[in-house]
Amino acid sequence: MNIGTAKPTLAERWRVPHHLLDLVDPDASFSVADFIRAAQPVLADLAERGGVALLVGGTGLWLRAVATGLDVDASPADATLRAVLEAELAADGVEVLARRLTAEAPLTAARTDLRNPRRVVRALEIVRLRGDGPPVAALGYGGRTLRLNLALDPETNRAWIERRAIGQLEAGLPEEAARLRGEFGSSLRSFSAIGYQEAFDLLDGRIDREGFLVANVARNVAFARRQRTWFRGDAFGDEQVELDPADDPFEVAIRAVKRFLGDERLS
């Protein structure tokens, strides 16, 4: 999925070391917990060598999970059990399930909003699978983090998105999608990534090249809008710096990182 995910080229990866690329095939299950576990040894190795890790791109949840930790090991799931508990919620009400949670797992109940039906059901699910007990330490980086926010106005962002969509088309995204579909089929969750369904539609004649660009750009613009909303509402990071494209954001970022580190490792 090189073109559709805008993976750095081999030349770019030769110039600057990149990590956590080419970890699994498109049909493999890979969760945010797997991502954190893959990132941990890389971060530890960089720390031992006095390096600086740059966590770039991706969804906000995955960035926050690595930067601040996520309670992944303490949150097992069972769809069948969840369905049973949902049925009990519908039949008995949240108060009954909350009393049951308090009786079965007082430690978990003490940190659960017992008026929230979804949280009570989820807490009971975890207790039935893992038992009661204190919260497990969050899995993540654990160190200090500096967050650099590139602030783009929507029109500039759209122009960049349009340029990327044209570049993906010219680079051979439809051909990449055809190869992947031949190997894995077209129903994988991985192929919900923006660009692949549009490429399948183009390959099958449901849209033309112009239609591919229109659909690709529209989905990316909507996704970018959701990202801006998410990041405005989430305050993870020990420090944050806003980068304005008009002010040479690279130089501003370098100065901010040097100040954050308190040394000249990025000279």
Q: Which residue has the tokens 């983090």?
A: 145
pLDDT digits (tens, 9 = 90+) for 112-126: 889 989 889 989 998
Say which residue, 234 or 88, is predicted with more confidence: 88
- Tell me the average pLDDT across 136-163: 85
Instruction: Please check the confidence at residue 102 and state whether its pLDDT lies above 80.
Output: yes
Q: How many CB atoms within 10 Å of residue 165?
A: 23
Give the model's pLDDT for residue 160: 93
Same domain, 189 and 221: yes
Is 221 inside a domain boundary?
yes
In a domain, 101, yes or no: yes
Sequence-separated (6 or more) residues with CB below 8 Å from residue 223: 194
Q: What are phi and psi of 149, to 5 degrees?
A: -105, 115
Is residue 74 a contact partner of residue 140, using CB atoms and an 8 Å limit? no
Q: Count of domains in the chain?
A: 2
Q: Tell me, yes or no, whether 249 lies in a domain.
A: no
The CATH number for 177's domain is 1.10.287.890
Note whether residue 4 is domain-resident: no
pLDDT greater than 90 at residue 181: yes
Q: What is the pLDDT of residue 152?
A: 84
Assess if residue 86 is contained within a domain. Answer: yes
User: What is the share, in percent, of the chain residues with pLDDT greater than 90?
Assistant: 51
Question: What is the per-residue pLDDT across 144-156, written as a single tens digit (0 to 9) for each?
Answer: 889 998 888 889 9
Per-residue model confidence (pLDDT) at position 72: 56
The DSSP symbol for 143 reads: S
Q: Could you tell me if 125 and 175 lie in one domain?
A: no
The pLDDT of residue 249: 87
- Give Cβ neighbours of residue 25 (< 8 Å, ≥ 6 apart): 184
Same domain, 113 and 169: no
What pLDDT, on a 0 to 100 scale, did the predictor assign at position 245? 80
Please state which of the ranges 60-64, 139-143, 262-266 shows the lowest mean pLDDT: 262-266
Query: How many Å apart are CA 243 and CA 249, to the nearest integer?
Result: 5
Same structural domain for residues 88 and 161?
no
One domain, residues 157 and 232: yes
pLDDT score of 59: 81
Mean pLDDT calculated for residue range 228-242 = 85
Q: pLDDT band at 63, cuts 50/70/90? A: confident
One domain, residues 213 and 168? yes
CATH number reported for the structural domain that contains residue 106 in this entry: 1.10.20.140
* Between 176 and 130, the higher pLDDT residue: 176
Average pLDDT over residues 193-207: 96
Are 113 and 176 in a shared domain?
A: no
Residue 262 counted as domain residue: no
Give the chain's mean pLDDT: 88
Residues 157 and 227 in one domain: yes
Domain range for 96: 79-130
pLDDT at residue 265 above 60?
no
Q: Which of 130, 145, 162 is the last residue of a domain?
A: 130
- Which tokens sit at 193? 């990534």
Residue 145 within a domain: no
Q: What is the pLDDT of residue 34?
A: 86
**Residue 34 in domain:** no
Contact between residue 239 and residue 147 where contact means Cβ atoms under 8 Å apart:
yes
> pLDDT-derived band of residue 215, with 50, 70 and 90 as boundaries?
very high
